[in-house]
Amino acid sequence: MKTFRFIPFIILIWAFPTYAKPRPHNWTNLTSSDYVKSLKKITDVMVEDVTGPCAAARYYAYTTLASWQVNALCTQNVSANRVLSQLSQYPQLTDLKVGKSVVTDFTSIYTLLRMGEELLPSGYLLEKSRVELEKRAQSQISAQAFLESKALADSVVKRFLRYALKDGYVKTSGYLRYTPINKSGYWQPTPPAYTEAYEPHWRTLRPFVLDSAAQFKPIPPVTYSADPKSEFYALTKEVYDATQKLTKDQLHIANFWDCNPFFLNQKGHISFGTKKISPGGHWMGITGIACSQKKLDFNNTIRTHALVAMTMADAFISCWDEKYRSNRIRPETVINQWIDPAWRAVLQTPPFPEYTSGHSVVSASVATVLTAIVGENFAYTDVVEVEFGVPARKFKSFKHAAQEAAISRLYGGIHFRDSIEYGGKQGENIGEYILKKLALK
């Protein structure tokens, strides 16, 4: 990937926060591309682990935020430290010693990989990348610089691991197992695996910026009704009809935004899974594309990824709060009961309640933040899932991509239209709030 190391100073001042003059050190010549590639390695481990969408967003948030924090310490970036200090229950870091020989780029990427090693179930798979990074640094910087850089990074990682430990995630495994409500209109497990509910207690996690999980509670969904003349029946019929006459492009859109971490294949009596990227992984990939195309420098590439990841994590908490409040039935269940017992959605229905659409909420929130950082009408080609056999698509802007991600759930047969539209509004509100609260606009 082509990298540009020099950006005119006046443009940097206009577009991004000013960085204080960094302390003297020897550069290891790591670039924005190296950061993006390192984060992709974390994504690869999540794919291997079949990490669900909520957990993936959480991992991205802590790994990228830790990297941004150590980067801010190295560069004495007052603006970044101001933003980070506003996060909920943020760890105290003022006592950390930043050595005079600390190397910013090495320390930032080392922190990213170390956080991934510690947080992810198969984090040990990142050891090879981390060791290669260490060898590269040792061949270019002094022994003192190497030791001081690692010492600072390890200190930040320890603080962030304690920070992550207190967000409520660990407690979720100790809650009572979720039992579906056996009443009309409520969510029930769906074929082919009839998997139990995914992360029913995710709303109990501590948000990063939002005041609470319910801060942006959407309006209630359309009331469930079996009356053929009801609004809900019309929504159901729309999903059924749409999937019966999809164009080639609509089918591509549905599959392009599928982002199902574990697609269950069934052939006769044999079942096997196909591992793919999560929704969060897709948007982090888009962020990398944007940083490269925009030619952001190393520090602003780290900043952008951290802000996107943090927004994404809060969006999932907000969305999952509504999912298990409204606990709404999926189209597949209703269509099988009322219209066609043999009908199957184009995409596999995810194992959690329908309202609101996670793709709609998360995509809209991230697109709002990315637009503020990178710019309106930022055209790009999304090649994130080419490695999974999904052809690339071109987009006129991040909001264009978010809108397509949202409607893909109707084409895929897994969401009703009100869930998509209200979910999009919920996501926009989240993104705008984060931008305002952190004074990013």
Domain-located, residue 258: yes
Burial 142-169 (b: 16+ CB within 10 A, else e): eeebbebbbbbbebbbebbbebbeebeb
Please enumerate in sequence order all residues whose Cβ is within 8 A of that of 132, keeping only pairs 6 or more positions apart, or say none: none
Distances (CA, A) of 433 to 43, 163, 202, 352, 359: 27, 23, 21, 26, 19
The answer to whether residues 72 and 22 touch, using CB atoms and an 8 Å cutoff, is no
8 Å CB contact between 42 and 59? yes
Question: Domain ends where: 170, 194, 217?
Answer: 170
The answer on 230 and 165 residing in a single domain is no
Structural domain of residue 277, as residue ranges? 225-437
CATH for 318: 1.10.606.20
Q: How far is CA 153 from CA 47, 92, 104, 307, 324, in A?
A: 26, 15, 10, 20, 38
End residue of a domain, out of 126, 152, 170? 170
For residue 381, the cross-strand partners are 394
- Three-class SS of residue 353? coil
User: Helix, strand or coil for residue 266?
Assistant: strand
Can you say whether the dihedral through the CA atoms of 366, 368, 369, 374 is positive or negative?
Answer: positive
Eight-class DSSP state of 278: -
How far is it, in rounded angstroms, from Cα 303 to Cα 17? 10
Which whole-number Å values give the CA distances from 435 to 120, 210, 298, 312, 355, in the listed order?
Answer: 29, 11, 22, 13, 25
**Cβ contacts of 420 within 8 Å, gap of 6 or more:** 357, 360, 406, 407, 409, 410
Same domain, 163 and 230: no
- HSE, side-chain direction, 13 A CA sphere, residue 380: 25
Q: How far apart are CA 92 and CA 85, in angstroms?
A: 9
Tell which of 141, 170, 199 closes a domain: 170
Residue with token string 């922190």 = 111
pLDDT per residue of the chain (441 residues) written in tens, 0 to 9 = 434 333 343 333 334 454 444 444 445 689 999 999 999 999 999 999 999 999 999 999 999 999 999 999 999 999 999 999 999 999 989 899 899 999 999 999 999 999 999 999 999 999 999 999 999 999 999 999 999 999 999 999 999 999 999 999 999 989 989 999 999 999 999 998 899 999 999 999 999 999 999 999 999 999 999 999 999 999 999 999 999 999 999 999 999 999 876 554 555 555 445 667 899 999 999 999 999 999 999 999 999 999 999 999 999 999 999 999 999 999 999 999 999 999 999 999 999 999 999 999 999 999 999 999 999 999 999 999 999 999 999 999 999 999 999 999 999 999 999 999 999 999 999 999 999 999 997
Torsion, Cα of 255, 258, 259, 263 (10° steps)? -90
AA letter at 20 = A
The tokens for 192 are 């082919």
pTM (two decimals): 0.92
Cβ contacts of 186 within 8 Å, gap of 6 or more: 180, 327, 328, 329
Say if residue 159 is in the same domain as residue 256: no
Q: How many structural domains is the chain composed of?
A: 2
**Is 13 part of any domain?**
no
Which DSSP string do the residues of 257-313 spell out, in sequence order? T---SEEEEEETTEEEEEE---HHHHHHHHHHHHHHHHT--HHHHHHHHHHHHHHHH
Q: Do residue 290 and residue 395 come from a single domain?
A: yes
Q: Does residue 178 belong to any structural domain of this protein?
A: no
Q: Is residue 83 included in any domain, yes or no?
A: yes
pLDDT digits (tens, 9 = 90+) for 180-199: 999 999 999 999 889 999 99
For the stretch 373-387, pLDDT in tens is 999 999 999 999 999
